């Protein structure tokens, strides 16, 4: 349900010397300006009041903003509205609140920017909860903000598109495969429904003496009929994850069809989870670990 989405930050400038594809500014010196200052200033504008996007019916507000060194991080409250309904308590088995069409259903999401000095690539991690996330909003609004002052656009593609990061991920070893919300059938009925179980999870491990191989190998692996292993697993489960190991550390990445490799699952393996929500301090600590690891991989 919870995950991190990792993206790179780059500023291209066709006026710079060299091959066109390599004309990227060092982020602490973009036409004599530091991108870090703009990140902080932009997020400050979202602290002053709730931003209400009446077209998409979404609300956004930064509620926590901290800066340590070249890192800017904190929490954003993100909400959606437009459809009336009601809030039902599963523990009390009663309706608790009648939700009006202009009531915004708000969740708290973590964000973390790192703008390394003397480097052409920055990193940003956005926390998503289910299908709720703020990357599109932040990337679009920050690009407008920066372009208004500097006249250049901010690129924010998935971090996995970075060649150095891609090579690192592809060479990581797959330790196990986890299938969440796995459908277990008996006589055409879902056993989890019959037993009153919330969800079924299945862990797949390689046979003794063998392995799943590298992350890249597993992603491209096919049956004799040409079906991809990931495609087959996606038919059995809506949550297909790989536990990968690289440089002595493990992390869980999503293998869902169409999902970018930059999706890193947040589970009790790496973050303290209380009542379905990650503990703020534990989540931040995990983000810092990921940032340190990613920073070593990005092109300077």
- How do residues 18-69 score in pLDDT, each as one tens digit? 999 889 999 999 999 999 999 999 999 999 899 999 998 999 999 999 999 9
In tens, the pLDDT along 56-84 reads: 899 999 999 999 999 999 999 999 999 99
Contact between residue 144 and residue 154 where contact means Cβ atoms under 8 Å apart: no
The encoded tokens of residue 271 equal 């973050």
In a 13 Å sphere around the CA of 166, the CA atoms on its Cβ side amount to 9
Q: Tell me what percent of the residues of the chain surpass a pLDDT of 70.
A: 90
In tens, the pLDDT along 183-230 reads: 666 555 555 555 555 556 788 888 887 888 888 788 788 888 888 888
Phi, psi of 49 (to 5 degrees): -160, 165
Question: Residue 3 belongs to what H/E stretch?
Answer: strand 2-11
- Model confidence pTM above 0.85: no
The closest alpha carbon to 124, from 38, 248, 212, 25, belongs to: 38
* Integer Cα distance of 215 and 210 in angstroms: 15
Residue 260: the pLDDT is: 47
Quickly count: other Cβ atoms within 10 Å of residue 45's Cβ.
Answer: 12
* Integer Cα distance of 119 and 134 in angstroms: 25
Residue ranges covered by each domain of the chain: 2-158, 164-261
Partner residues linked to 39 by β-bridges: none
Mean pLDDT of 99-108: 92
In tens, the pLDDT along 225-259 reads: 888 888 888 877 777 888 888 777 777 887 765 54
Residue 226: the pLDDT is: 82
**Residue-averaged pLDDT of the chain:** 86
Please tell me what DSSP assigns to residue 49: S
Q: 């059995």: which residue's tokens? A: 236
């Amino acid at each position: 349900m919870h995950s991190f989405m990792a993206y790179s930050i780059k500023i291209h400038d066709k006026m710079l010397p060299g091959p066109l594809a390599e004309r990227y500014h060092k982020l602490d010196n973009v036409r004599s300006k530091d991108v870090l200052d703009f990140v902080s200033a932009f997020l400050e504008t979202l602290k002053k009041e709730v931003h209400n996007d009446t077209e998409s019916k979404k609300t956004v507000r930064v509620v926590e903003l901290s800066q340590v060194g070249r890192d800017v991080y904190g929490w954003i409250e993100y909400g959606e509205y437009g459809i009336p309904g009601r809030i039902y308590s599963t523990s009390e088995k009663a309706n608790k609140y009648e939700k009006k069409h202009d009531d915004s259903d708000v969740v708290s999401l973590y964000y973390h920017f790192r703008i390394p000095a003397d480097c052409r690539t920055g990193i940003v991690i956005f926390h998503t909860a289910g299908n709720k996330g703020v990357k599109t909003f932040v990337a679009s609004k920050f690009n407008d903000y920066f372009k208004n002052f500097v006249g250049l656009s901010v690129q924010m593609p998935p971090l996995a598109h970075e060649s150095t990061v891609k090579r690192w991920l592809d060479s990581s070893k797959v330790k196990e495969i986890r299938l969440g919300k796995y459908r277990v059938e008996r006589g055409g009925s879902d056993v989890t429904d019959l037993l009153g179980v919330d969800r079924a999870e299945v862990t797949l491990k390689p046979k003794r003496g063998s392995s799943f191989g590298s992350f890249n190998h597993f992603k491209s692996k096919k049956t004799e009929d040409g079906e991809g292993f990931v495609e087959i697993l996606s038919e059995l489960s809506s949550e297909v994850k790989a536990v990968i190991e690289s440089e002595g550390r493990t992390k869980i990445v999503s293998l869902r069809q169409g999902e970018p490799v930059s999706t890193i699952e947040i589970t009790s393996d790496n973050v303290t989870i209380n009542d379905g929500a990650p503990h703020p301090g534990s989540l931040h600590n995990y983000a810092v670990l990921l940032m340190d690891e990613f920073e070593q991989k990005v092109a300077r």
